Structure 1
Amino acid sequence: LVRASRSHVAPLRLPHLLKDVPLGIKEHPLFYQVWDVHLGEGQSMYLYDAIMEGRPYPVEALFIAGSNPLLTWPESSRLAEALKKVKFLAVMDLFMTDTAKHAHLLLPAATFLERYELCDYYSVIFGIPYMMLRKKCIEPLGESRSDVDLWLEVARRMGFGEHFPWRSVEEVLDYALKPTGYTFKDLEEAYPSGVWFGAVNYGEYLKRGFKTPSGKVELYSETLAKHGYDPLPTPREPLESPYGEGREEYPLVLTTGSRLIFYTHSQLRNVERLRKQCPEPYVEVNPDTARAYGLRDGGLALVETRRGSVTVKVKVTPSIAPRILNMPHGWSEANVNLLTSRRPADPISGCPELKALLAKVTPLQP
């Protein structure tokens, strides 16, 4: 096992100022904090009820930045109802996304070419102890602003200036970099191509053990047991099982979330060269399934679950098992999240089940 040193920057979060417990944490406490690791996020699947029903407390305003939940979150129709109900919705993005169309206020974000950004995540993602400053190439066009500039302005106007005293992105990055011994100017001028820090540690667990209470790989987890969860990995049927209720009406299994190498979630479909490689949404079916349901390659079909229906082109391929339907996400033209469920399937994290949903398919063209 390999662990790379991490750059420890000064935190900008202020969790002690939160007046309410983040959504879903009472139901899923380990999603918020495990041992001494403070993840600091609520479970977003509980946002729907907070907006629509005021449970566990009402949410009347939202600020969505760099996200398109109407295409990437489950049960899109329910989320659309929720976004219409909030009294104020602001969206900060580069494009007029499906989510941005619901906003009362759309704020144009600066692209990566128009802002500075500290890239200190290489050690976490790639195991490389490396840090660099992404440089601003041009000034922001039009009325676009960097995320940091916007949040500093919002903080000042909301009366939190004492907690956000910086006047520029450069000052914020100087504050964040202080524990590393580097400054914004260092990374911009002295080390424009970045700096190495720490080391890559191989076999560290042989001396120090793992960062678990026992110091070992825990196949049996005392932590899970104390919270009332199964302490051992336990196989369970999906909430919507082909061996359970509903299988007569919905005899197939829909799986979603498969990655398309040309796109990232709902991004990049406006890039012509990429769109040519994968021009339209589709549902993948096995040849046996296609024959059984009268589907033809390139024909249209109606895919349905208990939540809704989507019309989409059929792609017949032997790479998908019989009785399985596979639909990638992120398409406005055929939003698979109109079919998915937000119901928490994993009792520990509260995450929904997006890989096993009962479905049926009907050909729309002979």
Structure 2
Amino acid sequence: MTNSIDEITESQVLFVIGSNTTEQHPLIGSRIIEAIKKGAKLIVADPRRTYLAERAYVHLCILPGTDAALINAMMNVIINDGLINEEFIKERTEGFEELRQNILQWTPERAERITGVKAEDIRRAARIYAGAERAMILYCMGITQHNCSTDNVIALSNLVLLTGNVGKPGAGLCPLRGQNNVQGACDMGALPDVLSGYQKVKDPGVREKFSRAWGVEIPEIPGLTVPEMFEAAEKGIIKVMYIIGENPAVSEAHLSHVEKALRNLEFLVVQDIFLTETARFADVVLPACSFAEKDGTFTGTDRRVQRLRKAIEPLWNSKPDWQIIVELAARMGYPMTYADPSEIMDEIASLTPSYGGISYDRLEGWGIQVPCPHKDHPGTPYLHKDSFARGKGKFIPVNYTPPAERTDEKYPLVLTTGRVLYHYHTGTMTRKIDFLNKKCPEPFVEINPADAQKLGISDGDEVYVKSRRGKIKLSARVTGKIKQGVVFVPFHFAEAAANYLTIDALDPVAKTPQLKFCAVNIFAGSEEHGDS
């Protein structure tokens, strides 16, 4: 996030796109509700009439996968109405004229034909967003899990630059991380082309610095993303995997392909707190500790580094992740000498400029937001105050890219997936809690009444949802809260895993799969088509 969670309540306009925030990030969702009560106007782009959408000043009921068209049309209105921030564009950006020429073609009427959002609603949302002194965009995986996810994020960045809504409190472009330490994992180099602090492995100076610190040669060729790894495993190129705290046998796209890849491995190690669906494929399972059984840090979605303190001793034979890795490295011939997680943090600070001022003794209270380059630095509540990392912010024109597969007569409905309030990710933890299971005991598919009537389906019916890759069996929820032509399935339930249906088409840059759009049909449970 460019800005802090606390700043949500300082914003005058909140534009939430690709996020069901009150269910996916309920604490952040509560800040949005607080901002509304203080007078902020809320714009929500979502194919479902969620809790937030019902409270929105403008609800843009968008067809999944058409976000870039919507955002471009909003910029078309802002430019044509003279609502751009001319001073900010002149002083702090480049490439505006090229963007303007591209945006001229993206009229709200054209976007309406693609997105299903009324042109007048697009105009209204654009004017509200551009008219605010402090407007914040919050987005999540409804934006980033498409074959055009990079373009979607670039389009949002263009919108922020166009209105000068960056580099100040209560504004910015704020991706909401999917889990509690995703930001920290990325900061520490859990990406195929960087080391910690996003230092590129292709940079000779970076490789030399880490080689000197670790006493090993750092390869200059970037690795593979997760979908690319499973493809390589299926082909027999990758023969061994070590999976830590992840459950791809439920969470990855096109699960039949993932299962085939896992079975094709010669050796699989899974390190987790429970025997997950993925662990059932493993040759060795290493029992890790939960958050309550270890010391360390989390870096949250707004870049805040906070201490994690052990509440109880590790149960049974489990160990903290760092300790398992240290012992495994020693047995493989690379001794690590860390005696405590604080020593690991000291090494992080020595090698990672943005964490240079972080140490355990500074992380009392609410922690510190990175970048924090030195010991006297207070941390950074919001980014890009005076300049961008590259100097000037760059406008990059993008256009709408259709989804990798389309609906047709055989598969006439668009499936999108997500979370519900009572369960978390693949249900590894939450589905072991009786109270949560009572609140949401089973998988379901939301379907619009008009679509249900056409298909002869009633609320509560047992149905099959079928795509070009597989089918699942679950109950139907007929509701006017889902856009006609779109259906929704939560992905928490392994017994009816939504990702047996989803397509593994990738964004060409980020290599993220198109999890939020695939073509499906729905059949009553007794019908021949459903059982085939």
Asked if these proteins are the same fold (TM beyond 0.5), I'd say: yes
Q: Is the 8 A contact 1:2 1:200 kept in 2?
A: no
The aligned counterpart of 2:319 is: 145
How big is each residue's C-alpha offset from its partner over 1:328-366, in whole Å with a ceiling of 9 and x where there is no partner? 11211210111111122x222222212221111111259
Indicate whether 1:101 and 2:275 are aligned.
no
Aligned to 2:399, which of 220, 224, 234? Answer: 234
Q: Is the 8 A contact 1:2 1:201 kept in 2?
A: no
SS in 2 for 1:333: helix
Aligned to 2:332, which of 158, 171, 192? Answer: 158
Distance in 1, Cα, partners of 2:510 & 2:190: 23
The aligned counterpart of 1:262 is: 422
Once the 2 structures are TM-superposed, how far is the Cα of residue 67 of structure 1 from its aligned partner? 0.6
Letter in 2 for 1:352: P
The aligned counterpart of 1:111 is: 290
* Identical amino acids, percent of aligned pairs: 29
Distance in 1, Cα, partners of 2:455 & 2:188: 55
Distance change in 2, residues 1:274/1:3 (3 Å): farther
Distance in 1, Cα, partners of 2:423 & 2:470: 25
Count of residue correspondences: 312
For normalisation by structure 1, the TM-score amounts to 0.76
Once the 2 structures are TM-superposed, how far is the Cα of residue 33 of structure 1 from its aligned partner? 5.9
Distance in 2, Cα, partners of 1:325 & 1:284: 5
The aligned counterpart of 2:129 is: none
Letter in 1 for 2:341: V
Once the 2 structures are TM-superposed, how far is the Cα of residue 211 of structure 1 from its aligned partner? 2.9
Distance change in 2, residues 1:80/1:250 (3 Å): same
Distance change in 2, residues 1:357/1:131 (3 Å): closer
Letter in 2 for 1:233: V
Distance in 2, Cα, partners of 1:14 & 1:323: 37
The aligned counterpart of 1:290 is: 452
Q: Is the 8 A contact 1:152 1:167 kept in 2?
A: no
**Which of the pair is proportionally richer in helix?**
2
Q: Is the 8 A contact 1:3 1:201 kept in 2?
A: no
SS in 1 for 2:494: coil
The aligned counterpart of 1:63 is: 242
Distance change in 2, residues 1:219/1:76 (3 Å): same
Once the 2 structures are TM-superposed, how far is the Cα of residue 126 of structure 1 from its aligned partner? 2.8
Distance change in 2, residues 1:202/1:160 (3 Å): closer
Distance change in 2, residues 1:304/1:110 (3 Å): same
Which runs of structure 1 show a deviation greater than 3 angstroms over 4 or more consecutive aligned residues? 11-15, 31-38, 167-171, 173-184, 191-197, 199-205
SS in 2 for 1:269: helix
Aligned to 2:392, which of 197, 215, 228? Answer: 215
Indicate whether 1:306 and 2:468 are aligned.
yes
**Where do 1:157-196 residues align within 5 Å?**
157-161=331-335, 164-176=336-348, 180=356, 184=360, 186=361, 192-193=364-365, 195-196=367-368
Unaligned stretches of 5+ residues in structure 1: 16-21, 26-30, 221-231
SS in 2 for 1:95: coil
For normalisation by structure 2, the TM-score amounts to 0.53
Indicate whether 1:334 and 2:508 are aligned.
no
Letter in 2 for 1:211: A
Indicate whether 1:358 and 2:519 are aligned.
yes
SS in 2 for 1:314: strand
The aligned counterpart of 2:6 is: none
Question: Which has the higher relative contact order, 1 or 2, with Cα contacts under 8 A spaced 6 or more apart?
Answer: 1
Once the 2 structures are TM-superposed, how far is the Cα of residue 177 of structure 1 from its aligned partner? 5.0
SS in 1 for 2:431: coil
